[in-house]
Amino acid sequence: MFKILYVEDNPQNMRLVRKILMAAGYDVIEATNGLSGIATAERDKPDLILMDVNLPDINGLEATTRLKASTDVMVAAIPVIALTANAMHGDRENCMAAGCDGYLAKPVMKNELLNTVALFLKHPPSSTPTPNSTNTPTTSTTS
């Protein structure tokens, strides 16, 4: 079962999203601020993180930047989808600049949420080979 961490300080949003995700068969773990979100991610290694941007301590973008800078490669590779109520111009760019892998505007729509989550769980960005990568075979077979 996929494990999803939702970092959210609003109890109503938490309840709604948890209900949707659990009904779809996901295991949901929770954190209510940025620092506990980071600690939970490091401890529980979720398959995906949904990150509210407006949090009471550090904001979700700062939390994402710290996660992506983690010395634990397992943690740094976890896809992060930002959830923001500030659907302003440039918001998506700010999220991406902070290291988020995806972006959802609030209010969260059920189908959009499930589609986005499924997309990242099936095709995590970290496993996508980049074209012209330096990932060349280490052994050569010259015969």
Per CB under 5 A, residues contacting Mn ion are 9, 52, 54
Residue number with CB closer to Mn ion (34 or 79): 34
Shortest separation between residue 102's beta carbon and Mn ion, angstroms: 18
Q: Cβ-closest residue to Mn ion?
A: 54
Residue number with CB closer to Mn ion (9 or 27): 9
Contact 78, 45 (CB under 8 A): yes
Residue number with CB closer to Mn ion (74 or 87): 87
Shortest separation between residue 44's beta carbon and Mn ion, angstroms: 21
Residue number with CB closer to Mn ion (52 or 101): 52
Distance CA 54, CA 43 (A): 23
List C-alpha distances in Å: 41 to 59, 85, 101: 16, 23, 16
Shortest separation between residue 34's beta carbon and Mn ion, angstroms: 10
Distance CA 10, CA 14 (A): 6
Shortest separation between residue 49's beta carbon and Mn ion, angstroms: 15
Shortest separation between residue 129's beta carbon and Mn ion, angstroms: 35
Residue number with CB closer to Mn ion (54 or 94): 54
